[in-house]
Amino acid sequence: MEYTDTRDGSVRTDLKTAVLSGMNPATGGLYIPVTIPHLNADLLNKSYGPSFRDVAFEIAKLYCGDDIPESDLQEIIADCYPFNAPVVPIDPVTYVLELFHGPTCAFKDFGARFMARLMAYFNRGENKPLHILVATSGDTGSAVGSAFSGVEGIDVTILYPKGKISCLQEKQLSTFTGNVRALAVEGSFDDCQRLVKTAFTDTALRKKFRLSSANSINISRLLPQSFYYVYAALSVKCRSLHDNKIENPSIIVIVPSGNFGNLTSGLIAQKMGAPITGFVAATNANKTVPDWLVSGRYEPRPSIPTLSNAMDVGAPSNHERITALYTHDELKKILASYWTDDNGTIKGITSCHERTGYIIDPHGAVGWQAWYDIRKGAMLKLMSGFPNNAENPGLTPNIPVWAQSILDNKAVGIVLETAHPAKFADTVKQAIGREPPMPDRLEKILNLPDRSIAMQNDYETFSKWLQKNLSA
């Protein structure tokens, strides 16, 4: 399997180089496969839903090629995933894909654990340490820190926007020790991401240190997220007729979206042959991509703080990968987009709970609200010639090819629940009047001491700190 660069299609490199370098330091481009491989027909045509690990292994084989022997790859998959991704029906045409059963209670565990083990595998025998730099808007940092904690030869520096993530998320980040540390940056997630991306293109810094990324900038964190898209789509395909009496439904995946790495993984899964008809990109007030989908103009902007903070991204880096995989017109056929404000997020949590009994987190709530509104009249109004103004919360005025299946009641939705609601207990309590139960693995960190390091929003200061504190 060969990999190329979103900014220079002539680039050809192997998986090891793509994983360990994170992004192409010569161009600043992001790595993508030269071709998207197709899933094995036996996997796609099973009459029963395959196990998550079986799906993960079959997909990983396609991308690892000859770089990792199958026996080693099986061990990596088994070590990565002692947990599952349950597909939970909450009403006759809605499933929730629960992605919070990993150690840090967020979907980032699926990508971070695979990436950590892949990097450790490729880093064997190296004399110089590999330094991971990662910006987080919430859950990425804790998942990466957990995945790499104690991994020999690799250390991790996490940058997060001080005071702009939930208290529990900040607690998860600020309590790491050993080879993982967190920097509390005076700024936004976009500022954190800018500092990291600038470091990767800093020639002098890269000569001194071996640097890599653990954001969805890194292809080894992006590709394993396709595992759960394929798994969920095959599961729903096998069970849908029993659940809702719809034969061969259009399967629509509703993706809470911030940096758009998760959606990119879904698009890759669809290209591989997963039975996914289309997607809804569900965003908060940081609606850069919905605006681009409507206007064709990509205009990054400063991020806006919201209740769904992990999606507070005004300049999503994976837009670059999406446009390398699809033209704007192609994407408009596959993708609907929807955005809401904080009032809509609270409404989503309340509505989901009242109508289904399910307690959903603020990010999943944006997805639920998008799917509910699409089913309950928003798509009908759009197709009847009464589109919502894109400046107002709601479905943006783009009609995907699967829109008629909504009106014909031939579609089912899979809403991605990207984090455990207990990580946002105050917001959930505001919406439904009580806090959700807290998993033991979250509760145990509450009494740990904070060890985060204050960092100015300034690249020179950041660079000097790296040079002083990292080992060459």
Q: What residues contact residue 363 under an 8 Å CB cut-off, 6+ apart?
A: 256, 308, 310, 311, 417, 418, 419
Average pLDDT over every residue of 311-319: 89
Give which of 380, 457, 411, 325 is closest to 93, Cα–Cα.
411
Where is average pLDDT lowest: 132-146, 295-309, 371-385, 399-413? 132-146
Which tokens go with 113? 């654990």
Give 83-102 pLDDT, tens digit per residue. 999 999 999 999 999 999 99
Strands 87-91, 94-98: pairing kind: antiparallel
Structural domain spans, the chain: 222-438
| C-alpha closest to that of 307 among 219, 427, 222, 218 | 427
19 vs 9: CA distance, rounded Å: 18
Q: State pLDDT tens for residues 39-54.
A: 999 999 887 888 999 9
Measured distance CA(188)–CA(193) in Å, rounded = 9
By the 8 A CB rule, do 20 and 130 touch?
A: yes
327, pLDDT greater than 80: yes
Q: What is the pLDDT of residues 329-360, one digit of tens each?
A: 999 999 999 999 999 999 999 999 999 999 99
Dist CA 151 CA 95 (whole Å): 36
Compute the average pLDDT of residues 251-260.
94
- Predicted confidence at residue 258, as pLDDT, reads 87
More confident residue, 127 or 183: 183
Pull the structure tokens for residue 29.
């481009």
Which residues, at least 6 apart from 234, have a Cβ–Cβ distance to it below 8 Å?
43, 44, 46, 49, 50, 55, 274, 275
What topology does CATH give the domain 222-438? Rossmann fold (3.40.50)
Whole-prediction pTM: 0.90
Query: Which of helix, strand or coil describes residue 354?
Result: helix
* Strands in 295-387 per DSSP E: 335-339
In the chain, what is the greatest distance between 2 CA atoms, to the nearest angstrom? 64
Helices and strands (H and E) in the chain: how many: 22, 15
pLDDT digit string, tens, across residues 398-456: 999 999 999 999 999 999 999 999 999 999 999 999 999 999 999 989 889 999 999 99
At a CB cut-off of 8 Å and minimum separation 6, what does 343 contact? none
Percent with pLDDT over 70 in the chain:
100
DSSP track, 84-149 = ---EEEEETTEEEEE---STTSBTHHHHHHHHHHHHHHHTTT-SSPEEEEEE-SSHHHHHHHHHHT
Q: CB 203: neighbour CB atoms within 10 A?
A: 9
Strand partners, 253: 279, 414
The residues near 20 (Cβ < 8 Å, ≥ 6 apart) are 119, 122, 123, 130, 210, 212
- How far is 110 from 105, CA to CA, in rounded Å? 10
- Mean pLDDT on 453-461: 96
Average pLDDT over residues 267-272: 96
Q: Check residue 11 and report its DSSP letter.
A: E
List, in order, residues 6 or more apart from 437 with CB less than 8 Å away.
Answer: 422
Residues 126-144 have a mean pLDDT of 87
